[in-house]
Structure 1
Amino acid sequence: MDVTFETARGRRFTVEIWFMSTVKRIKEYVMRQEGIPVESQRIFFDGKELKDDLDTEHYSILQGSCLRLVLPGDGDAPGIGRMVRVIVVSPALVPGGVTLDVDAAFNVARFKELLQEKTDGALPAARMVLLFGKLEMEDDKTVGEYGPPGPDGIQVTAVVQPKQPAPAAAISKKKQPLVTVQVKWGNMAVGLEVSDLLAVKELRAELGAGAAAKLPLPKDGGYFFIYKQNVMEEDHTLRWHDVKNGDTIEIFNGQVTGGA
């Protein structure tokens, strides 16, 4: 199964592990993929530091879980051990809403991505506005800054903007962060300027317009995206994959099938 790691400095990456791995084994997977020595790693989940001899079943680590990785020099990594319960209500969610327990150090942009994942895309991060009372939550602030939480946590409202809102009708006055990426198919490449909160599957629509439309892609949509030699997950955003301005995304013919 795949689990996501986030460092105290905000770097994110995904590692495939065995579903009954011990914590020490997980650290070995991280060392193999990222080159970080086992003895340098401290792993946290749900606000607790994980013990090497216990396993994923003990800590209820599942497919898609997000673990915090603390490295030498990170100190105590502010936010670890302080969890915030967030109750999210939205007209887009039936019934009612969703409740998440998250690290207080999560920034709002990351929290939006987590909501997108937990709602199977019903709340798309790129078009989501979160309201704390009447105040719009800012992407670069942490969840913990919007409190203190009450006995049941904090309640926020999620509003999904229309796909193509008129500029004057946009709920958020702030522009989504843009990145320019090179999309490469064989020997051909084109540049695209897109939001880093764009889901990978939404990148397909961008390839049908402008200069990108010249790429001879399969008409049946039978292709997938590769970033830094890893298959990109289509339900996740470019930011989730840590795509930066000027990076290259490659396109390959065929389809990806899930493994055991």
Structure 2
Amino acid sequence: MKVTISVEGSEFSLDVEPQESVLRIKQKIEHILRIPVASQALSIWGWELIDGLDMEDYSTIDESTKIVLTIRKPAPIPLPPANSKNRITVKFSARKIVLEVDQTETVRSLKEKIHIVDGTPIKRMALFFAGRELDEEFRYLTAYGISDNAEIVVFLKSAVSAADQLPVSRTPLLNVMVQTASCLLNSAMIPLDMIRDSSTVSELRQFLLKEKILPPDDYIFIHKQRIMRESCSLRWHGVENGDFLYVFKGTVSQGKV
């Protein structure tokens, strides 16, 4: 079928199949308009379409439907002031060193500087400031609130991976948040401690119903804009500790191929 794509005052037609995902439609638009997928937001009647859903999941979409394309413009990243120096203390378990860093320093460049001065392997460093890990390598130190006289704590990761250290029989636990959709359920954000990453979506559903966290009904679980499969584990879906799962009322209809 053909749908109409409206973008910034102009329109064009696009051939789509019922089984095509929203993500695939964005890829087609990228090929035509050279607009990166990450910069696209597609919506109908003010509701944004989810990448992991297919066209047939939106039963109201037909050839008379107009899909609005909004181009997301990335927010500019402010640069810290140039030619400004800070003295920071880098603290190890049994020693400290003092370094002078520019305000244009990134987490990565700080790790490189520590390696040059102290010899600590970069891959083994985990840097923390005020209890928060500096986990974005190319983010400015100032973006983490680091200024003059700040203290950075260095933890050394084991040379053996954490997965190698775990007993084979041990199953990691997760602490995930379940966010219900405000338009379909009573809006709530529910932390779920002690959920195993080997649990399937079906087992998670039964747990939520048993604990009366959700009322009896049919639900769709979504993780990172993709519908989750009932028989697959949270680990299979890539769910990690601290992730958000979204719950919507409804079922997934399978179209005929």
TM-score, shorter chain, exceeding 0.5 = no
Q: Which has the larger radius of gyration?
A: 2
The two structures have a TM-score, normalised by structure 1, of 0.32
The two structures have a TM-score, normalised by structure 2, of 0.32
